[in-house]
Amino acid sequence: MPERVDPPIAIDILQAEALVFSRYDNHIVRRLSDMKGQFHDQEAYQAMLEEEDRILYEVYDVKRPEQAGELIPGLSIVHPGKVGDEYYMTKGHFHTVIDTAELYYCLRGEGMIVMETPAGEFTAERLKPHTLVYIPPRWSHRSVNTSPTESLATFFVYPANAGHDYGSIERRGFRKLVVERDGGPQLVDNPRWLPPEKW
Ligand code: F6R
Ligand code: ZN
């Protein structure tokens, strides 16, 4: 039997009002209501939610078999906005197969990727168009849009067998929050962060 060989896939990144893939299999839409407990100002969160369940971010990706050797390419669009003083952000996750890396390439907008290891080591990188961030294995990651007006668009690619562990971040949070101070983004300690010994 000849080995099965899939055809290559070519995708254009279309410059519509927001960037969009010319072809994709999944379009994931995350709203304010999907982010319960993630923003530090719970009162601001509740008040916003009662007004409107806004879309915070969207992801377009290509479906591939979830096996080692395969990659999943995708596009992440985080819209501009804040909950209280905290910028819109993705949920953030560890990869379930923790020894898998990921690559992010910023196409449009400005923001940050915050990253943290299971041992509580924290780092953040600024994103602007053409910034490439390589996230090595074991670093959880969240992207944050720090522009007051523009969506943050990033291209990402990661191993298709990585899987997503959202629960750890929901419980412990990231060590630092990205908030607006004096009209710009600043990292501040997360008062609700759980250090590794309290997991
Ligand atoms: C995949 C990955 C990105 C994110 C996307 C949305 O491993 O890191 O595709 O999935 O930026 O963020 P989450 O998944 O944290 O809601
Ligand atoms: Zn990831």
DSSP string, 58-100: EEEE----SSTT-EEEEEEEEPS-EETTEEPB---BEESSTT-
Q: What phi, psi does 61 have (nearest 5°)?
A: -140, 170
Give the ligand whose atoms come closest to the C-alpha of residue 139: 2
Residues 123-149, mean pLDDT to the nearest whole number? 98
Residue 143 CA, ligand 1 centroid: distance in Å:
8
The pLDDT > 90 percentage for the chain reads: 93
**69 bridge partner residues:** none
Residues 94-105, mean pLDDT to the nearest whole number? 98
Please report, as a single letter, which amino acid is at residue 103.
L
pLDDT band per the 50, 70, 90 thresholds, residue 16: confident
- 97 vs 16, which has greater pLDDT? 97
* Probe residue for ligand 1, chosen from 156, 168, 169, 174 as the CB with the greatest number of ligand atoms within 8 Å: 156
Residues 96-117, mean pLDDT to the nearest whole number? 98
- Residue 1: is its pLDDT beyond 80? no
Is 163 close to ligand 1, i.e. is its CB under 6 Å away? no
Give the ligand whose atoms come closest to the C-alpha of residue 170: 1
Per the document, the length of the chain is: 199
pLDDT band per the 50, 70, 90 thresholds, residue 120: very high
Long-range contacts of 121-125 (CB under 8 A, 24+ apart): 122/174, 122/175, 122/176, 124/176, 124/178, 124/187
Give the ligand whose atoms come closest to the C-alpha of residue 167: 1
- Residue 126: is its pLDDT beyond 90? yes
- Residue 28: is its pLDDT beyond 80? yes
Supply the residue whose CA is at minimum distance from atom 16 of ligand 1: 91
Q: 153, 136, 145: which is closest to 60 by C-alpha? A: 153
Q: What's the confidence (pLDDT) of residue 3?
A: 86
The pLDDT > 70 percentage for the chain reads: 99
Q: What's the confidence (pLDDT) of residue 4?
A: 87
Superfamily of domain 13-198: Jelly Rolls (2.60.120.10)
- Residue 107: is its pLDDT beyond 90? yes
Instruction: Give the number of other Cβ atoms within 10 Å of residue 78's Cβ.
Output: 27
- 197 vs 142, which has greater pLDDT? 142
Q: What's the confidence (pLDDT) of residue 72?
A: 98
Is 157 close to ligand 1, i.e. is its CB under 6 Å away? no
Is 158 close to ligand 1, i.e. is its CB under 6 Å away? yes
Is 139 close to ligand 1, i.e. is its CB under 6 Å away? no
Where exactly are the structural domains of the chain? Answer: 13-198
Residues 27-47, mean pLDDT to the nearest whole number? 98
Tens digits of residue pLDDT in 49-62: 999 999 999 999 99
Residue 164 CA, ligand 2 centroid: distance in Å:
7
Is 102 close to ligand 1, i.e. is its CB under 6 Å away? yes
Q: What's the confidence (pLDDT) of residue 18?
A: 86
- Residue 184: is its pLDDT beyond 90? yes
